[in-house]
Amino acid sequence: MLDVEVRDGTRMATVDFGGVVKEVCLEYLPDLKPGEYAIVHVGFALQKLDEESARRTLELFETLGLLQEEFGDPWEAAEAAGGEWPAQDGVGGEVRQ
């Protein structure tokens, strides 16, 4: 986790998804701490993961090309999707210090 702060009454964190950094809401996992891992969907941390599960999931996603699909160039992804913006989900994002 780079940073945890409360914005407009909502606990937020900067989370690293294997090199891609995103802002994530921590309201569903209020006890999540720096160095821990979580499944993230549409910007919300939903479930805590152990490190091994998170690393295996990221490796699998990378092998399948899903990391590039998920976090690649948004303009390229939008063009490939017929002009629609891709979803902003992630799995195994590490809450960094």
Region 27-41 average pLDDT:
87
Tell me how far apart the alpha carbons of residues 61 and 83 are, in angstroms, rounded to a whole number.
24
Q: Both 4 and 29 in a single domain?
A: yes
- Residue 43, C-beta contacts closer than 8 angstroms, at least 6 positions apart: 22, 23, 24, 25, 88
Task: Look at residue 76 and give its three-state secondary structure.
Answer: helix
> Mean pLDDT over all residues of the chain?
76
State how many domains the chain has.
Answer: 2
Same domain, 68 and 25: no
Could you tell me the pLDDT band of residue 84, with boundaries at 50, 70 and 90?
Answer: very low
Percentage of the residues of the chain whose pLDDT score is greater than 90 = 21
Residue 76 in any domain: the answer is yes
Provide DSSP, 42-75: TTEEEEEE-HHHHHHHHHHHHHTTHHHHHHS-HH
The pLDDT value given to residue 40: 86
10, 36: one domain: yes
Give the domain extent around 14: 1-49
- Averaging pLDDT over each range in 12-21, 43-52, 67-76, which range is the top one? 43-52
One domain for residues 61 and 74 = yes
In a domain, 4, yes or no: yes
Q: What is the pLDDT of residue 36?
A: 87
5 and 41 inside one domain: yes
pLDDT on residue 64: 82
Asked if residues 4 and 26 have their Cβ atoms less than 8 Å apart, the reply is: yes
